[in-house]
Amino acid sequence: PSLIEILMVAGTFAWVALGLLLFSKVFPLVPLFDVKEGMVYRDEVKIGRRTVPAVIRE
């Protein structure tokens, strides 16, 4: 295969990857309802001198 053909195949894969990224930006893979629901259980826990994010489990 010539250099042009290799670049065309690489460019095609790049366009498909870009399309998937843009699609997932417009239509998130995780529903926002589930993300907001998980925010209720978010908290920060102090371990030693550092405060770290944590999730409270029921």
Q: What is the DSSP string of the chain?
A: --HHHHHHHHHHHHHHHHHHHHHHHHS-SS-HHHHHHHHTTEEEEEETTEEEEEE---
What pLDDT does residue 35 have? Answer: 62
Task: Encode pLDDT of 1-52 as tens digits.
Answer: 899 999 999 999 999 999 999 998 888 777 766 666 656 666 777 888 888 8
